[in-house]
Structure 1
Amino acid sequence: MEPLLLLRVAGLSHPVIGETLRDVDTMTARLAEALERGPWLLGERFSAADLLCVSPFGWLPDLIPDHPAIRDWVRRCEERPAAQRTRARDAASAARAAEMA
């Protein structure tokens, strides 16, 4: 997922990419298909698959597909207590680094 999103941001395409990684539209369709079966990618429980697949959308929120199931899934992932703690730690770390600069 991440390479497809980064290639889109960079405006790059090549037939080899399309044949091996497919494209963002295919990625979106597969993601939505998985989320139609349950709240998480593998069903009823949050898993490493969710953690890995949602991460590009945390860095590039403008690239979250305009699909209700996907947007709801990203929101659920971001609302998890561990995700909130991590964002708080990151913000505190960034603030300390800014003070030292």
Structure 2
Amino acid sequence: MSDPERVTLYYSPQTRATGTRVLLEELDAPYDLHVLNMKASEQREPSYLAVNPLGKVPAIRYGDAFVTEQVAITIYLGDLFSQAGLTPALGDTLRGPYLRWIAYYGSSFEPALMDRFMQREPAPVTQSPYADYDTMLGALEVQLAKGPYLLGERMTAADILWGVAFSWTMMFGIVPKKDVFVRYSGRITSRPAFQRINAADAEMAAQHASAAST
């Protein structure tokens, strides 16, 4: 049986779940990994589809609570481990902007990125969830220019979500390597938590690739 006081993170290396694992490290939260080898399609097995019918990671379990969707997980964990100081409390003037930019990730950034990556024509601006790609990214550029973090001087759980996301989207050329994005992402990826998980991910991914080839 799992310890009800520990978070179980359903995980695969070098995926969106990496950001959640980095966040758990930053929160100093007790957690265990339930690793899925996506190269062996373990995320499509019935046992995991019962956790997340979409067969995606990350997902978490804490006690009897299951949470999917990276945005929801970020908010949930930040509030659950609020003693780490990475979440503006209710009543804090930063709480609204904090929720805004976390929601922006799922509602605007990801849809825009997928359209750009798949070379799909976006919906008309009046119907698109993100207006258009340049407008969506421009709003982020303006906000991050106020820096050093998304909400100014204070680092929050939102910065873990965004810092890791900028790292991989710039790596694949989906987001341009503008100075403001590079500097911002570097503040997160240079932190010990990201460095530890990035190294662990590389080792785990190599093991999965080896297992899939045998």
Q: What is the alpha-carbon root mean square deviation over aligned residues?
A: 1.8
2:211 maps to 1:100: yes
Retained in 2: the 8 A contact 1:2–1:56? no
CA distance in 2: counterparts of 1:49 and 1:14, whole angstroms: 27
Which consecutive unaligned segments of at least 5 residues does structure 2 have? Answer: 1-108
Q: Note the C-alpha offset of 1:80.
A: 1.4
C-alpha spacing 1:58/1:8, structure 2 compared with 1 (3 Å) = same
Structure 1 stretches of at least 4 aligned residues deviating more than 6 Å after TM superposition = none
- Identity among equivalent positions (%) equals 38
Retained in 2: the 8 A contact 1:57–1:63? no
Structure number with higher helix proportion: 1
Deviations 1:43-87 (CA, angstroms, capped at 9, x unpaired) = 113212222223433333212334211121122221111111111
2:197 maps to 1:89: no
Pairs within 5 Å for 1:11-26:
11-12=119-120, 13-15=122-124, 16-17=127-128, 20-26=129-135
Q: In the alignment, which residue of structure 1 is the partner of 2:81?
A: none
Deviations 1:13-50 (CA, angstroms, capped at 9, x unpaired) = 11122xx3212211222111112222110111321222
Structure number with higher strand proportion: 2
TM-score by length of 1: 0.81
Which consecutive unaligned segments of at least 5 residues does structure 1 have? Answer: none
